[in-house]
Structure 1
């Protein structure tokens, strides 16, 4: 079960993130990094953060705790910065947050040489499976905290879902080999990727995948139009024309869209796993 907390204090924005996440305090006295529903990529980035992050946690990888966090509409009204005020107002209600790691240090490639090669191989496998494009030397999204490596920021994973529509077959994308894995920051330090594949793929049963996807809030699946995109020529993934949306076709339901994620991820695990072959080829060329 993913806990739900309520925001009690807006601490500070994290302006180095393109989606303007922020550190907030919640009613459990914890500090969290909030990913806002009203940010540029809309709910799909939160879905990727939730699904990929929980898959990582299910695999035993060091991903901070993920929580749902309720944001009071008053936070937007009280914020003097107009950009932040608009973001907070657009995000009132349910958002996603990760446990804040105070005092954590940004990942430095020189420190990777001391990493456990088995852990590096597991992270490479995980990122190839969820198609995470944001684990490069330029943007590793890795932290060191208490001398341990931590994986953060998975909102750019599952990038193929941004192209899905209600007429798209998600299974067509599932065999993608993910050639971008060649740019993974931990690939040069990865140990036996084939061994990681054998161990990790066995942990992700269809039931476990379904349980993770079941946690996606219905509202994030139904309302998937990113801010500022209304009325544009290209509508968000899973969306149809305004007339079709008013008719509420069965494929537009939250359950149908949730089933698409389960089908995609389950099929992606079915052998032969092209993303593993791609990672093995990329590792051999290092």
Structure 2
């Protein structure tokens, strides 16, 4: 009997209204309304890093959720060709045109505030978990310059993991990353507050099991894994993501030491 793989219960909705672009960074995400009546921050497949940024956003967000961090609900979002035809801004028009199909949305946290390392609250255990999360997913973009964290309802929320797993932009050399740690953790915005890295590591290894990782990776839409320039098949990419994440968990003590040394 062949065991059936499980996937996450990720909802799929349709974009029904383009509201406004968010002009932070170069990818031009936008606030949109969906067919379920809620607002989302839409991440476009036609933006700079393409579908790989959506994959990184998805895996990173669901791993963060699995280890007990606050993450806005992630949904798959269908975008049709009607929006590009009525958009007057040529840059946005092109983005919409190249993003027809399945994109990724994050539930919009109305009235949230961008995390400010000088004044915002973040407890030690949450900070430690986020530092180790970013070591695990190789996220180069959670710095003082660009925190990619929100304060909402007096809680810290993790957003914008699209710069993670940067090895997947060069599949020919991805295995070279299996033995590496993550020295760039020295630039992490929460590093100074990460006083409980050992405790965070224990919680992560208890909750982030192989089946959990497999369910997340198996939930990546097949369409996102299809690129003419890639040398791996979709199944090969899924296997690579899983092997990479397993390698990070096996060396989590080294990641803790690296972060402590950097502090």
- Asked if TM exceeds 0.5, the reply is yes
* Greater Cα offset, 87-96 or 76-85: 76-85
Query: Are positions 1:133 and 2:140 aligned together?
Result: yes
SS at 1:110's partner residue?
Answer: coil
Q: State whether residues 194 and 280 of structure 1, in contact with CA within 8 Å, keep that contact through their aligned partners in structure 2.
A: no
Which residue pairs with 1:79 in the alignment?
87
Q: 1:29 offset after TM fit, Å?
A: 0.3
Q: 1:128 to 1:272 in 2, by over 3 A?
A: closer
Query: Are positions 1:191 and 2:199 aligned together?
Result: no
CA distance in 2, matches of 1:123, 1:253: 31
CA distance in 2, matches of 1:138, 1:27: 35
Deviations 1:107-135 (A, max 9, x none): 111224x4211111111111111111111
Moved over 4 A (4+): none
CA distance in 2, matches of 1:172, 1:273: 20
Query: Are positions 1:29 and 2:37 aligned together?
Result: yes
Q: 1:152 offset after TM fit, Å?
A: 0.8
State which of 199, 206, 221 in structure 2 corresponds to 1:217: 221
CA distance in 2, matches of 1:272, 1:215: 25
Q: State whether residues 201 and 252 of structure 2, in contact with CA within 8 Å, keep that contact through their aligned partners in structure 1.
A: no
Which residue pairs with 1:255 in the alignment?
235
CA distance in 2, matches of 1:171, 1:273: 20
CA distance in 2, matches of 1:272, 1:28: 40
Q: 1:277 offset after TM fit, Å?
A: 2.1
CA distance in 1, matches of 2:250, 2:149: 28
Coordinate RMSD, CA, aligned: 1.4
SS at 2:179's partner residue?
Answer: coil
Q: 1:272 offset after TM fit, Å?
A: 5.9
How many residues end up aligned between the 2 structures? 255
SS at 1:277's partner residue?
Answer: helix
Unaligned segments of structure 2, at least 5 residues: 1-8
Deviations 1:23-69 (A, max 9, x none): 00000000000110001111110100000111001111011111100
Q: State whether residues 70 and 95 of structure 1, in contact with CA within 8 Å, keep that contact through their aligned partners in structure 2.
A: yes
CA distance in 2, matches of 1:273, 1:207: 21
Q: 1:194 offset after TM fit, Å?
A: 1.1
TM-score under structure 2 length normalisation: 0.93
